[in-house]
Amino acid sequence: MQNRTIIKRLGLTDQEVDAYITLLSLGGAAASKVASTMGIKRTTVYAILKSLSKKGFAQTYFKDNTRLYYAQKPTQVIQQQEKKLEAFENIIPMLQTLQGNSEAPQGLRYIETLSELKVFYDQVLEESYNKTQLVIGSAVYWEQLDTEWFIEYRKRRAQSGVRSRIILSDESRETNPKEKELLREWKYMPTQYSFRSTMNVFSDKIIVVSPKLSALAVVIQIPAMVDVFRATFEMLWDLLPEPDDEHK
C-alpha cells in the first residue's frame, strides 16, 4: 500500500507504521488492544509504542490506572517534521564550515539493510537529474526486495528526467514494464545466462545489489573501475539484439 511506504519514509519501521495506523483506526487504546489488533504479542507491542512515542507519532495518557495510547494527529506530525527541518536548515552554514573542501570519497562501501539501500537510491536520484543510468540485472529479484517501493521508484526516476538503459536477464521479460513514460530502453541476455544480482552504473559509482552477498549491496566508488564497468556495459549493449517486445 502506497500510504504505508510514505509513512515509513518519515523514519518508522514496518511495525511502527502498523502501530500508528492501528492507533489512528482505534482512536486510542490500551497496549493489549493494539497488540491483538496487530496480531502480535503484548510484550512486543510495548517497545513499538514506546519508540513511536519518542518519534512523535503517539501520545500516552493514564485513565483509571490504565495506560492508553493515542496516535498523534497527522497534521501535528507534519508540524513536528517541519520544525526539525527548519532547525536543521538553520545550522547548515555552520555544518558547511566544518565540512571543508574534502574530495568525494573513493573506495568500497557496504550497505547492510534495505532501508539504507533505499536512502542510497533516493540520493543518487537527486544527483542523476536529467542523466542516464546503466543497469545490468534481474527485474524479478530486484523488485522482490520491496515490490511496491521499487515499482514506485521507477516512476520517480522517470519523473526526474533520468533515462535508463537496461540489460535484463531473460526471466525478467514477464515483469519488465513497457510504458514509454518510464524512459527505459532494454535488451535481454540469452536464456543460458541467469543471475540474481543487479548492477547500476552511475556517473561516478557502481552499486551491486544481491540478496546472496553477506551485505545487501556493495558500492564501488573508484573512477578506474567505473570506467571498466561502463565500457563492459556498452560492449554488451552493442552485441545484444534488439528486444522483441516493444513499448506500450
95 part of a folded domain: no
Indicate whether 10 and 54 sit together in one domain: yes
Q: What percent of the chain has pLDDT over 70?
A: 96
Name the band, by pLDDT with cuts 50, 70 and 90, for residue 137. very high
30 part of a folded domain: yes
Indicate whether 180 and 114 sit together in one domain: yes
- pLDDT of 225 reads 93
User: What's the grid cell of residue 247?
Assistant: 513499448
The boundaries of the domain holding residue 210 are 107-239
Q: Which helix (H) or strand (E) is 137 found in, with range?
A: strand 132-137
Average pLDDT, the chain: 89
Q: What percent of the chain has pLDDT over 90?
A: 59
15 part of a folded domain: yes
Indicate whether 65 and 117 sit together in one domain: no
Q: Identify the bridge partners of residue 70 per DSSP, sorted by sequence position.
A: 59
- pLDDT of 248 reads 62
Of the three residues 74, 90, 116, the one that is the final residue of a domain is 74
- The DSSP call for residue 103 is P
Helices 31-38, 42-54: inter-axial angle, 10-degree rounding = 110
CATH code, domain with 10: 1.10.10.10
CATH code, domain with 158: 3.30.870.10
33 part of a folded domain: yes
Indicate whether 70 and 112 sit together in one domain: no
pLDDT digits (tens, 9 = 90+) for 165-184: 999 999 998 888 889 999 99
98 part of a folded domain: no
Indicate whether 122 and 168 sit together in one domain: yes
pLDDT digits (tens, 9 = 90+) for 107-120: 999 998 888 999 99
Q: How far is CA 185 from the centre of its chain?
A: 22
Name the band, by pLDDT with cuts 50, 70 and 90, for residue 103. low
Indicate whether 231 and 111 sit together in one domain: yes
Indicate whether 149 and 232 sit together in one domain: yes
Of the three residues 74, 96, 130, the one that is the final residue of a domain is 74
- pLDDT of 9 reads 85
Indicate whether 115 and 190 sit together in one domain: yes
| Distance in angstroms (rounded) separating the CA atoms of residues 161 and 131 | 7
Indicate whether 129 and 221 sit together in one domain: yes
92 part of a folded domain: no
pLDDT digits (tens, 9 = 90+) for 79-95: 999 999 999 999 988 88
Numbers of helices and strands, H then E, in the chain: 10, 10
- pLDDT of 157 reads 92
Indicate whether 136 and 230 sit together in one domain: yes
**Torsion sign over Cα 215, 221, 225, 231:** positive
- pLDDT of 1 reads 56
Residue 59 has pLDDT above 60, yes or no: yes
* DSSP β-ladder status, 163-168 and 184-188: parallel
- pLDDT of 101 reads 61
101 part of a folded domain: no
80 part of a folded domain: no
Residues in Cβ contact with 248 at an 8 Å cutoff, skipping those fewer than 6 apart: 178, 179, 180
Residue 24 has pLDDT above 80, yes or no: yes
Indicate whether 225 and 145 sit together in one domain: yes
Of the three residues 27, 56, 74, the one that is the final residue of a domain is 74
pLDDT digits (tens, 9 = 90+) for 191-215: 998 888 999 999 899 999 987 777 8
Indicate whether 29 and 115 sit together in one domain: no
The 3-state DSSP class for residue 232 equals: helix
Q: How many domains does the chain have?
A: 2
Q: What is the dihedral of CA 40, 45, 47, 50, to 10 degrees?
A: 150
Name the band, by pLDDT with cuts 50, 70 and 90, for residue 131. confident
- pLDDT of 3 reads 82
